């Protein structure tokens, strides 16, 4: 997220809490330069994974499906 210095001044505690909670850096645009606030330790990358449903339907049908017609050596 990118904010101006004025926006940072008005919402500093909320923005800092957001950086701490999400682990995403905050970019402050001031006088043509970008400054960044980042958490020192953001935890393991695997802890930030978001669950997605990749298989639509019953996964057991994939396991027990006859794939021999699709196999080409």
**In this predicted model, what pLDDT tens digit does every residue of 11-67 receive, in sequence order?**
999 999 999 998 899 999 999 999 999 988 756 778 778 888 788 888 788 788 787
In angstroms, the CA 12 to CA 34 distance is 17
pLDDT(5) > 70: yes
In angstroms, the CA 57 to CA 42 distance is 35
Model pTM score: 0.54
Domains contained in the chain, CATH given: 2-63 (3.40.1620)
Q: Is 61 helix (H, G, I), strand (E, B) or coil?
A: helix
């Amino acid at each position: 997220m990118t904010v101006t210095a004025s926006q940072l001044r008005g919402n500093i505690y909320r923005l800092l809490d957001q950086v701490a909670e999400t682990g995403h850096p905050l970019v402050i645009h001031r006088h043509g330069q970008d400054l960044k606030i980042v958490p020192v330790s953001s935890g393991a990358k695997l802890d930030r994974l978001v669950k997605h449903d990749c298989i639509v339907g019953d996964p057991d049908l994939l396991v027990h499906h006859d794939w021999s017609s699709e196999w080409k050596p």
